[in-house]
Structure 1
């Protein structure tokens, strides 16, 4: 068991995926002062049995043509998502208080307005842990939504796309726009319809994927 436990932990470490085990609901490992590795069942908090460890080994190596060197794709996706979220949160975001100051309104009025706009698919709002934030790229100087972004946001949010995915698509170069950044191109009146159609195409694809699940 020790060889399997250590070998599996070393492999996960080399891939840089150790921090993604917990978020994926998988067993996690810790290294003792003696260098031994212990794996813990997330459901019971108990150490993994040899059979459970063998099952985990097979599970993590099941992706790819070569099981020995396969990469656990689900963990890779989680790591990529975590990095995207970190990058997005490094940009300007506003909580309720920050948005209230920008709008010159009370905290309660701002909270109500944010909830209403979110429910009407007219404002991109994300939840980071227990904190609700509004990405600032979509706002004017007075804290209101940039009007050219409303027809872009509405189909994406109405399709119930992950808000983090919407945020990333709007602020990164998009293949549907020839590598242009959607929220920047939307500011050009001559290109606004192009961005809107790209958003509608992405929303339609997302809706179809949900139906297939």
Structure 2
């Protein structure tokens, strides 16, 4: 890179590092960068792996600053959303969940029988199952001590899963404070028999929004 492009590359890299967004460039399909031992920024084209030209850096600069009324202070919203999604997934993965094997142990059943039962329940929209790293996770919040679906959550899960919402989004909504419920956590509020219908109504509204936006 010549001097102008090197300056642009350094400015963009420092800006993204300050925003905590540098690690999400590749997942957004954008050029990414690394610093050499001397701290010099090296930007690479995601398709070819070749260094970015001055023109490509200028295009990237425009793309990253296109959101907002003031380009000088714009924040790349797509990267912010990717960072937020990664943070949410990390928090969910840090909570309790089961594999087929661990759920089988809780249920006192074989792994094959548990796998079959989980698949059938998921097909009926009666169990939240989340794909991850080539396998599946069964979030534990929805289960009884015996490893079966909590009865009060059946009517809550059904509209969300039937709407084909992203399972990660379903997991997140059910386990975090929800605006539709005045800041209460849906799966916890559903334990109250007097409130479970309110939770289901909120789930139906969320499912309708998801369907309308798909």
Q: TM tier, shorter chain?
A: over 0.9
Tell me which residue corresponds to 2:90. 86
State the Cα distance separating 1:130 from its structure 2 match: 2.2
CA distance in 2 between counterparts of 1:113 and 1:45 reads: 45
Unaligned ranges ≥5, structure 1: none
| Paired positions, count | 210
- 1:155 equivalent to 2:159? Answer yes
SS of 1:23 mapped into structure 2: helix
Map 1:14-25 to 2 at 5 A. 14-25=18-29
Unaligned ranges ≥5, structure 2: none
SS of 1:127 mapped into structure 2: strand
- 1:188 equivalent to 2:199? Answer no
Tell me which residue corresponds to 1:49. 53
State the Cα distance separating 1:35 from its structure 2 match: 2.2
Tell me which residue corresponds to 2:149. 145
CA distance in 1 between counterparts of 2:13 and 2:135 reads: 33
SS of 2:39 mapped into structure 1: coil
Deviations 1:113-137 (A, max 9, x none): 1112112211111122223111100
State the Cα distance separating 1:42 from its structure 2 match: 1.2
Tell me which residue corresponds to 1:7. 11
Superposition TM-score, scaled by structure 1 size: 0.96
RMSD (Å) for aligned C-alpha atoms: 1.0
State the Cα distance separating 1:159 from its structure 2 match: 0.5
SS of 2:42 mapped into structure 1: strand
Tell me which residue corresponds to 2:203. 199
